């Protein structure tokens, strides 16, 4: 029997010897770094991040890396933990898209946050240049996404949260590059990561879901720093009977990663999606479709008798909260997301709160929402986030719209003004208007920064949310 190619060796070679990313890939990476920074700043106001910051302060340690949004420093792994959790706290961070029809579209990883959180933390403590951090980010992003495509889809569909599991390898790749690890050290870092990596989907709708991204970032940092100190692990930990891909994924398709790292870069094709709503990516095409109907018809809630959403299990199963009781559950609730669009014509950070979820107007609107498992839609495939929206009006008319793409996807890319507006809205919880503009400018010239601290020192801010004193 022909021996399968080594995925571990392919990843190691790419981290150590990959070509400098081309200009268009770096340009796209800057968009995701800007978006990742934005959602990290916004996440600082959440209860889970407040708890983590208090925990890290009590824990102590060498203050080396910045907790974004706070005038606080912590160890690199603790900074990665907090910043990674913060970036995923609102479910507003980007999502990986699939290159293959047998890989579920929208259910791979949230690629930026684990990698960016680790790159900023390690880049700061190692006094790396902006160019080095940018290139390490591209490497980590690529490793995470290509592993997510290579692993058997059973990994996610069986209950693992790939942002937590595979995000750790992206974080490890970025950290290893910034720490200039040797080949043996990189192999050990990947092996350590293979034993640290975890995260299960049962925790969606709780504080622990964003913790997955934070732990992924922290685990990548811990693994690379331990390897730098001589800590050992298996040299082929991704491969073989007892390797990560087989144990946690029931196998993999090596041809989806070996020889394909950087050819093409995921940032070039198929790209990744930047979210316009702080909720599960699978809801976003449906919400955009309903928004178009509401605006085209100038609908008010009293004009609508019922809204029906028809979709397959790839949409309905993960978005499982029919009657959410808090803001976290609402992020995985189609009835809430659709009700927001109907009632408020928007669904932003200030809508996805427990107060809004429990308001009478939202409960009344959610009562008009009906989700239907449609086998015909399911048979159309899962390589798109497909649904059919039917709006039945009080006058008896029914307006139907097919949804399969959302704003922020490569098919419907955001304009620079839209990206900047999202950044400003997210950063407003921490930075004033001038500070936000300074950060946007600094990110745009990141390649010219002699040290990444020129960026991180602009991100300390003073969180303006209550309860963070």
Segment 4-59, tens digit of pLDDT:
789 999 999 999 999 999 999 999 999 999 999 999 999 999 999 999 999 999 99
Q: Report residue 380: phi and psi, to 5°.
A: -70, -10
If pLDDT is split at 50, 70 and 90, which confidence band does 107 have? low
Number of H helices, E strands in the chain: 22, 8
Q: Report residue 382: phi and psi, to 5°.
A: -115, 15
Q: How far is CA 401 from CA 267, 307, 386, in A?
A: 30, 11, 11
Segment 442-454, tens digit of pLDDT:
999 999 999 999 9
Segment 206-254, tens digit of pLDDT:
999 999 999 999 999 999 999 999 999 999 999 999 999 999 999 999 9
Whole-number Å distance between alpha carbons of 363 and 339: 9
If pLDDT is split at 50, 70 and 90, which confidence band does 465 have? very low
Q: What is the mean pLDDT of the chain?
A: 94
Would you state the pLDDT for residue 205?
A: 86
Residue 153 has pLDDT above 80, yes or no: yes
Question: Which helix (H) or strand (E) is 306 found in, with range?
Answer: strand 304-311
Residue 468 has pLDDT above 50, yes or no: no
Burial class (CB in 10 A: 0-12, 13-18, 19+), 450: exposed
Would you state the pLDDT for residue 381?
A: 78
Residue 462 has pLDDT above 80, yes or no: no
Residue 463 has pLDDT above 50, yes or no: no
Q: What are 167's two structure tokens?
A: 């995000």
Residue 104 has pLDDT above 70, yes or no: no
Whole-number Å distance between alpha carbons of 333 and 329: 7
Q: Which CATH homologous superfamily contains domain 281-403?
A: 2-methylcitrate dehydratase PrpD (3.30.1330.120)
Helix, strand, or coil here: 51? helix
User: 7-276+416-459: which CATH architecture?
Assistant: Orthogonal Bundle (1.10)
Would you state the pLDDT for residue 44?
A: 97
Across the strands, what pairs with 160? 200
Would you state the pLDDT for residue 466?
A: 38
What percent of the chain is modeled with pLDDT above 70? 96
From-to residues of CATH 1.10.4100.10 in the chain: 7-276+416-459
Q: How far is CA 460 from CA 141, 275, 422, 424, 442, in A?
A: 25, 24, 19, 15, 14
From-to residues of CATH 3.30.1330.120 in the chain: 281-403
**Inter-residue contact 308 to 392 (CB < 8 Å):** yes
Question: Which helix (H) or strand (E) is 401 found in, with range?
Answer: strand 398-403
């Amino acid at each position: 029997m022909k021996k399968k190619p080594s995925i571990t060796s392919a990843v190691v070679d790419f981290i150590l010897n990959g070509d400098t990313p081309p200009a268009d890939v770096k340009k796209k990476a800057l968009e995701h770094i800007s978006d990742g920074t934005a959602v990290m700043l916004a996440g600082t106001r959440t209860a889970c991040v407040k708890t983590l910051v208090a925990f890290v302060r009590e824990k102590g340690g060498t203050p080396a890396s910045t907790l974004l949004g706070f005038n606080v420093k912590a160890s690199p792994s603790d900074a990665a933990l907090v910043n990674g959790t913060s970036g995923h706290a609102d479910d507003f961070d980007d999502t990986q898209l699939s290159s293959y029809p047998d890989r579920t579209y929208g259910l791979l990883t949230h690629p930026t946050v684990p990698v960016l959180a680790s790159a900023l933390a390690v880049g700061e403590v190692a006094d790396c240049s902006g160019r080095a951090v940018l290139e390490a980010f591209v490497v980590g992003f690529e490793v995470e996404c290509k592993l997510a495509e290579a692993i058997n889809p059973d990994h996610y569909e069986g209950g693992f949260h790939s942002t937590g599991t595979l995000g750790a390898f992206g974080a490890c790749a970025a950290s290893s590059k910034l720490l200039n690890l040797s080949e043996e050290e990189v192999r050990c870092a990947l092996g350590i990561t293979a034993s640290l990596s975890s995260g299960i989907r049962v925790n969606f709708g709780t504080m622990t879901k964003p913790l997955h991204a934070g732990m992924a970032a922290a685990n990548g940092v811990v693994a690379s720093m331990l390897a730098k100190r001589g800590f050992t692990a298996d040299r082929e930990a991704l491969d073989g009977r007892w390797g990560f891909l087989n144990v946690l994924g029931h196998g993999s398709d090596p041809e989806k990663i070996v020889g394909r790292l950087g050819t093409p870069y995921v940032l070039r094709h198929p790209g990744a999606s930047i979210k316009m709503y702080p909720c599960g990516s699978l809801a976003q095409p449906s919400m955009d479709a309903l928004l178009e109907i509401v605006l085209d018809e100038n609908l008010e809630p009293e004009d609508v008798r019922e809204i029906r959403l028809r979709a397959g299990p790839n949409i309905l199963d993960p978005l499982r909260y029919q009657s959410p009781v808090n803001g976290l559950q609402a992020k995985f609730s189609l009835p809430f997301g659709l009700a927001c669009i109907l009632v408020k014509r928007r669904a932003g950070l200030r809508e996805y709160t427990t107060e809004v979820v429990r308001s009478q107007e939202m409960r009344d609107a959610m009562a008009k929402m009906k989700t239907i498992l449609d086998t015909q839609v399911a048979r159309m495939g899962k390589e798109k986030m497909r649904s059919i929206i039917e709006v039945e009006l009080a006058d008896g008319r029914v307006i139907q719209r097919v949804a399969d793409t959302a704003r922020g996807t490569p098919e419907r890319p955001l304009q620079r003004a839209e990206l900047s507006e999202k950044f400003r809205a997210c950063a407003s919880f921490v930075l004033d208007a001038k500070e936000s503009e300074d950060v946007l400018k600094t990110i745009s010239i990141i390649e010219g920064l002699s040290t990444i601290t020129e960026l991180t020192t602009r991100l300390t801010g003073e969180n303006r949310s209550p309860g963070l004193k």
